[in-house]
Amino acid sequence: MLLAALCGPVPAGALSLDEARAIALEHRPELRAARADERAAASAADAARAERLPRVDLAVAAMRMDDPAQSLFAKLSQGAVTAADMTPGALNDPGALTDLSATVRVTQPLFAGGRIRAGVRAGNAAAAAAAAGRLEAVAETRAAVTTAYYGQILAAEALKVARGARRTARANLELANDRFEAGAAVRADLLAAQAHVARMSGRVIDATRDLALARATLAAAIGVEELPSDADAALPLDAGGEQSLDALLARAREARPMVRAARLAVERARAERDAAAGALWPEVGLTAAAGEHRPSLGGEGGTVWQTGIRADWRLADGGGRGARIAVANATLAKAEAQADQAWLAARTQVTAAHMSRQAALERIQAARLEVDAATEALRLTRDRYRAGAALFTELQEAQDRLAQARLNAISARHDLAVQEAALRWAVGDGLEGG
């Protein structure tokens, strides 16, 4: 099923909520971009860690020269200096000389004022933040697909209610017609019944349109061309376990990827500030090099080597390092503010979803009672109308109240399902496996 969905239309009646989410996780551009960001950040962290390791450079050169100093140096490196080369004339005018050289240099950083260590911290924090960002995109995708999925189920259920109301209106029309032919009802009742059937038929048309739009919305959310014509899924009847708002907020502070990514952004900014401050210190490294110089590819040559410790300390740069530290401090302050903002946003989302879930639960209980009451009221009103003790307008009103009560019940169950998904997204549940 999943393979078919990835390649084209979904087989009729085969799409479950879990399958819709799985397809969306493969197709949504936001998730592809988040996965690319995660790979890039992981590679950047690897590059930062590589700064601690020895660096090996190979330099190959082919030079033609007649500079006296460079020529003497080249001959010394080649091991080709003779007594004739040390005469004043040869030293001052050595003539053209060819030098082919190959040098391998190894450099091992020993101290960089904490810059490399801070860079590794920043890279690790950035990689972890990118991973958290991908999980946030996963959670958002699941919530969006769930909302669209239950939206099309709500539309399908609303269509059933509209069709049921139309059937009831037709039955009332038959009842009004029978009473009219028996002389027990006026023609106005018959006309009102016919108008009511037409109105209920219009609602069926509207509900059919709404269902088509809901299916198109779901198709766009999961990235398939078309949805099954008949869905076997239904809205959940019951909610999950109850949890206090304080417990939900505590879990969101730790588990919500958006909040975790914001905290990691602060850690990254703090590490980058430390790296900028490390530029005030000297850089010390161990170097070793070995090379060979020849006058030609097949000629005799000489081998040279050198090793030692080198320290480079920039004493002044016109205030550039101080400015970069100031920029890093400002970036850190911004990251801290954004972390606070992310937590406030998550807290608001958790609180809103929790309260909406509670309201949906209460509406479900009220809607059940409303449906029972409206069903009984319609039965009694129909009996009274059949007996001539009620007006046809009362029968219409009773039918409309029952249809609305059924829609309210379905809507409450839909809201509960959507708010359950929104609460899981806001808290960050179900993302441990990535």
The rounded percent of the chain whose pLDDT value lies above 90 is: 52
Element (H, E) at 102: strand 97-111
Distance CA 163, CA 27 (A): 35
Residues 6+ apart with CB under 8 A from 64: 96, 97, 98, 99
Q: What is the mean pLDDT of residues 366-376?
A: 93
Res 379: pLDDT? 93
Q: What is the mean pLDDT of residues 86-106?
A: 89
Produce one character per residue of 228-260: b if its CB has 16 or more CB atoms within 10 Å, e if not.
Answer: eeebeeebeeebeeeeeeeebbeebbebbbbbb
Tell me the chain's radius of gyration from C-alpha atoms.
Answer: 39
Would you place residue 35 in the very low, low, confident or very high pLDDT band (cuts 50, 70, 90)?
A: very high
What is the Cβ-side half-sphere exposure of residue 148, based on CA atoms within 13 angstroms? 24
What are the structural domains, with CATH classification, of the chain?
2-53+114-279+320-427 (1.20.1600.10), 56-111+282-313 (no CATH)
Res 236: pLDDT? 61
What DSSP state is assigned to residue 10?
A: P
Q: What is the mean pLDDT of residues 243-261?
A: 93
247 Ramachandran zone, left/alpha/beta (phi>0; psi -120 to 50): alpha
pLDDT in tens, 12-23: 345 788 888 888
pLDDT in tens, 291-335: 998 888 878 888 888 999 989 998 888 899 899 999 999 999 999
Token readout for 187 is: 């023609």
pLDDT over 90 (residue 62): yes
pLDDT in tens, 117-143: 999 999 999 999 999 999 999 998 888
pTM value is 0.74
Would you place residue 269 in the very low, low, confident or very high pLDDT band (cuts 50, 70, 90)?
A: very high
Res 82: pLDDT? 86
